[in-house]
Amino acid sequence: MKMRKSKAKQTIVETAWKLIDKKGYSNLNVNEVAYVAKVSVGTLYYHFPNGKVDILAEIMSQKTAGNVDKFNEQLGVEKLLERGMSLEDSLRWIFKKVIEFRRPDRQFLSAIQSEMFSNPDDYMDLIKKYQGTEGLQQALGILSEVIMKASKPEAKSLGKMGDTQDRIQKVIGLMMIYQIIFPEYFGNDDEFVDLALRVFLEILKS
């Protein structure tokens, strides 16, 4: 029985995810992924033309989308704003949730950083692909909504800020990854959140 393309793609993603957890990203082999997923190598490259980089970008996107779902299940933007918190306190709450949701993925995030140092060109391709994924856009949409509704009416969304959004993704995202991989890297989590918030707001004003 022929596997449907959408099912084949998801099976490849889930298989690669498990193999990364077991063996590390640097040891991930697309032929092995295809074999374990029980799909042809051609099918794998049909869905992921650039192999490992495309697969990793999709895993990152799905993990981010999963965290967005958790956020919406626990609270959601409207209920968060109903608490009457300031923009700073709302962002501080979101940052803490990001750490809570992502810390179980420390090994996965370590794999990404390993790829960055061993193959910087591929890493930049990965980041470009990830920036356009559905999962990240969902997360940025939450930030934009909080910024617009919890600050002054004339505040713009991140999506309309261009370079500002890009800087926030790169700077805050990298800081967050290091704090998750290395707890206490920027101090305890509360100290880190205070620091990340100051950096975030400074970039937002620039």
Domain ranges, ordered by start, for the chain = 1-49, 51-205
- In the chain, how many H helices and how many E strands? 11, 0
1-49 — its CATH code?
1.10.10.60
Coil, helix or strand at residue 85:
coil
pLDDT, tens digit only, all 206 positions of the chain: 334 447 899 999 999 989 988 887 778 899 999 999 999 999 999 999 988 888 988 998 898 888 888 888 887 778 877 877 788 888 898 899 889 988 888 877 887 787 677 777 777 777 777 777 788 888 878 888 877 777 765 566 666 666 777 788 888 888 999 999 998 899 999 999 999 999 988 888 87
Q: What is the pLDDT of residue 2?
A: 39
Instruction: State the first-to-last Cα distance of the chain, in angstroms, to the nearest integer.
Output: 56
- Residue 164: is it exposed, middle or buried by C-beta count within 10 angstroms (0-12/13-18/19+)? middle
* Strands in the chain per DSSP E: none
pTM value is 0.76
Q: What is the pLDDT of residue 12?
A: 95
Fold of 51-205: Tetracycline Repressor; domain 2 (1.10.357)
